[in-house]
Chains A and B, each alone.
Chain A
Amino acid sequence: MVSTYNRRGFLKISGIGLASAYLAACSVGGGDSGAAANALKAAFAQPVNDLDPHGPSSVDESTLLAGRLIYDTLIRRDGDKLVPGVATSWEQTDENTWVFQLRDDVTFHDGSKLTAGDVKASLERVKDAGTAQSALWTSVSAVEAETDTTLRITTSEPLGTMPVNLTLMFILPAAKMNEPGFFRKPIGSGPFRVDGFTPSDELRLSAVEHWGGKPKLDRVTLPYIPETSSQITALRTGELSALWPVPPDQLRELEGLDEIRLETIPSYAYYFNWFNCGREPFTDPRVRRAMWRAVDVAGIVKNLFGDGAELMTAPIPSTVFGHAPQEPYRHDPDAAKRELADAGLADGFRTSLMWFSDTGPLADALAQAMISDWAKIGVTVEPQNVEKAEWLRRLNAKEFDMDLQINTVTTGDADFTLGRLYDSDADRMGYRNPELDTILRQAHRDSDRGRREELYSRACKIVWDDAVGMFPAALISTYGLRSTVEGFEPAASNQPDLRGVTLAS
């Protein structure tokens, strides 16, 4: 009978356990009033992993997006113009020296004053961080805070991209930025203060008084929703007020709905398909051009992406400074075959294409479409759809024949991609061209817009005519907005300024 008693006791305990599980379930979330008036819930397609704007995520669009709301920069981007941020003016006193005048009315969210010392500490921190953004600052040799509002930056070689690079350099409070746990609830001087942050899940912000004017919204919540269909559903049901970028193959789910408005803007992101110019047979530019001519790029971009992308006319998107339109490669399989024959490959050849599915929208479909076009000229391409980490490893080790990927011109300036990828010293895909090196290095040093534009137009022509890669599609970002959202301006960088957004009830 003992066992009966035990069993009964056990059942009681499990009953209590169940009840408490139920209670725990009911208590989740609780009274989050995210739906209150003047609170915007908006989802970007990628998670915000880290709020450290100098850390490993420093050039992730999601971290930059959050950074623009929380922190300030010396210089801001407004469309394709560079406008004053914390710096009111700047001048290049000689080719290696830049002097910035700073506002004296900027305060951090904890009330302390932002001074040139904070800018100095921030710039030194990002330069030494050993992360992707650090590469922009290698030529900075000294940063001096001459007064609280005067900052002098000295470089070891001329850095013409200084102003545009500074649009990525977020200013942190020097006294606090190295405290442990700082980036869980960081303090900046931007228009929004951090209320709460769960990495790669949700960021909650509230508006503060800002030198640029207080935002019209009271609160902003940026959740991350991994599953695309759930993102679309959440926007349609009103759980979300804004969603961007909407994947091209999901656009029709949102078209023709009264309560949803779609706004588009050409972005800084684009697809390229690199040829490993250091590997046979891609050492021969005739072969590379033949590969390009073999693919019906215009047809593929139109059929796959519709309004979600535009056909490229240069090795960088048309939104980027330095873009210069080139002669398109017409789809001509017969000419491609003749060119292959000229290069001694009349019978075609075997090669491979490497990519990872999440590199961008419709990557798998794009790869397959190109591979089937190549088959028509006798080139057998083995598809190598690998995982992201493996793709990165092989890319950095140049272990590929062809590489299809999305690239983003994070600063909106040709230097960020052309200057950093196609220089022989960078050696990203085995292409070496001393003439191009000279042009790119000159453009990197020069700060004159007109001269830089001219240099990049020559660089665009060389990369395009030599077919270092194929440049099929530049993405167009589509922002899905509920009709109640007003004043939301789509940004090419995918980092919209939310200060002017209002919500109609």
Chain B
Amino acid sequence: MIIYIARRLAQSVFLVFGAITIVFLVLRVIPGDPASLILGSQATAEELEAKRQELGLGDPLLAQYFRHLGEVLRLDFGESWRLGGDAFANVLERLPATLTLAGYALALTLLIGFPLGVHAARNTGKAVDRLVSYLSLTGQALPSFWVGIMLVLIFSRMLDILPATADGTPLALVLPAFTLALPFLGWLARLVRNGTLEELGKDYVRTARSKGLSERVVFNVHVLRNTLTPVVTVLGLVLGNFIADAVIIEQVFAWPGIGSLMIESIVNRDYAVAEAAILLIAIFYIGLNLAVDVLYFYLDPRITLETV
């Protein structure tokens, strides 16, 4: 067990290192640099060159890379040229908003998706079952930025019952969280439905029924608990997806999270902020994956070191 965790941990560290390297390279390979954005469209070649030297962009790429690695280890990404102040602090300041959005979306996914899936499993072929199929299909097929804009048009502009942008009230969470949750809602419902059906066909259910247990007890005590296990582990991955998907949703709803910060920092070649934000998201994603893997191991004793 400990060996397994240690091995996965080592792999994760390697992944984070890879993410740092790729982000560093991609940001510097794409044309345009902070010097030209700082000085604007009327800069002279000399001014640009001086600014590049000042920012350390004139050094060889390898030297810049090693300096960057040192910075990352100290969690000091340097100053944001565009926002002023420490880049990592700027990103951390925006983190709670993204986590709140992701947490709320996760709650919505569970509270709607799970009961819907169970209900569909108990009513196979009926209306609710078909609804789950449609929901999971359309939810995943519709691009979320489009869904977001449509929801704003319907619920804010036409019906005027929910705010269109983050105005500081809890109500402002409803539309962005729902938009974020929609693709996973139907997906979770399908997962629960299929898992439940599979469990219902197993021997222990027949045994329980033959013992004379009521259908309610069979379902709630035996079947549901077994269905829940894979679902719970999968939720970790969903949460990771939420944090990554929030990049688009935050833009639509003016949500002050790290997603919108990241987009603007890339467009404006604010390397320090972009690197800090992407690294944070990568660590979240990798961390959640690691947690899920460990959980599998923990929850299902049949998984051994040989089988993983």
Contact = CB atoms under 8 A, between A and B. Distances in A.
Given A130-B47, A199-B83, A396-B36, A135 B267 contact: no
Interface stretch (A97-105, A159-167, A232-240, A303-311): A232-240
Q: What is the interface of chain B mostly: helix, strand, loop, or mixed?
A: helix
B71 interface: no
A202 B54 CA distance: 30
A380 interface: no
B165 A234 contact: yes
Given A14-B232, A50-B84, A393-B33, A21 B107 contact: yes
A392 interface: yes
Interface residues of A, number: 68
Interface string B151-163: 0110011001001
B188 interface: no
Given A6-B298, A184-B84, A389 B47 contact: no
Contact of B160 (A7, A130, A183, A237): A237
A395 B47 contact: no
Contacts of B85: 181, 183-184
A227 B229 CA distance: 40
Interface stretch (B17-25, B209-217, B254-262): B254-262
Contacts of B149: 227, 229-230
B193 interface: no
Contacts of A29: 166-170, 172
Contacts of A387: 30-32, 267
Given A11-B232, A24-B103, A395 B41 contact: yes
Contact of B167 (A50, A52, A239): A239
B9 interface: no
Contact of A389 (B36, B83, B93): B36
Interface in B150-207: 152-153, 156-157, 160, 163-170, 172-173, 177
B100 interface: yes
Contacts of B110: 18
Nearest to B159: A237
Given A56-B81, A239-B165, A388-B267, A22 B104 contact: yes
Nearest to B295: A10
A24 B99 contact: yes
Interface residues of B, number: 75
A248 B103 CA distance: 38
Contacts of B256: 198, 201-202
B264 A200 contact: yes
Given A24-B100, A52-B84, A389-B268, A236 B157 contact: yes
Contacts of A230: 149, 152, 164-165, 252-254
A389 B40 contact: no
A34 B104 contact: no
A261 to B, nearest CB: 18
Contacts of B83: 49-50, 199-200
B122 interface: no
B272 interface: no
A235 to B, nearest CB: 10
Interface in A118-134: 130-132
Contacts of A30: 168
Interface in A361-417: 387-393, 395-396, 405, 407
Interface in B17-53: 30-33, 36-45, 47-48, 50-51
A25 B103 contact: yes
Contacts of B51: 130
A55 B163 CA distance: 35
A230 B151 CA distance: 11
Contacts of A59: 40
A426 interface: yes
Nearest to A398: B45
Interface stretch (A218-226, A284-292, A456-464): A218-226
B12 interface: no
Given A3-B299, A229-B149, A28 B173 contact: yes
Contacts of A50: 82-84
Interface string A115-152: 00000000000000011100100000000000000000
B225 interface: yes
A420 B97 CA distance: 43
A10 B299 contact: yes
Contacts of B92: none
B63 interface: no
A28 B253 CA distance: 15
Nearest to B45: A396
A40 B43 CA distance: 37
B88 to A, nearest CB: 14
A223 to B, nearest CB: 7
Nearest to A403: B41
A32 interface: yes
Contact of B168 (A26, A32, A236, A393): A32
B82 A233 contact: no
A57 interface: yes
Nearest to B226: A7
Contact of A56 (B38, B90, B252): B38
Nearest to A59: B40
Contacts of A236: 157
B157 A233 contact: yes
A49 B82 contact: yes
Nearest to A3: B301
Contacts of B306: none
A198 to B, nearest CB: 6
Contact of A131 (B38, B97, B253): B38
Nearest to A21: B103
Contacts of A234: 156, 163-165
A428 interface: yes
B106 A21 contact: yes
B228 interface: yes
Contacts of A224: 254
B34 to A, nearest CB: 9
A421 interface: yes
Pick the 5 closest A-B CB pairs, nearest first.
A389-B32, A21-B103, A29-B168, A32-B168, A199-B83
Interface of A: 2-3, 6-8, 10-11, 14, 18, 21-22, 24-26, 28-30, 32, 34, 47, 49-52, 55-57, 59, 130-132, 135, 181, 183-184, 198-202, 223-227, 229-230, 232-234, 236-237, 239, 387-393, 395-396, 405, 407, 420-421, 426, 428
Given A3-B300, A30-B168, 9 more contacts: A7-B299, A130-B54, A131-B39, A132-B38, A184-B84, A230-B253, A239-B163, A390-B30, A393-B36
Interface of B: 30-33, 36-45, 47-48, 50-51, 54, 80-85, 90, 93-94, 96-97, 99-100, 103-104, 106-107, 110, 149, 152-153, 156-157, 160, 163-170, 172-173, 177, 225, 228-229, 232, 235, 251-254, 256, 260-261, 264, 267-269, 295, 298-301
20 contacts: A3-B301, A10-B298, A22-B104, A25-B103, A25-B173, A28-B96, A28-B173, A29-B172, A32-B167, A32-B168, A57-B82, A130-B51, A183-B84, A230-B254, A232-B157, A233-B152, A234-B165, A237-B163, A396-B48, A428-B42
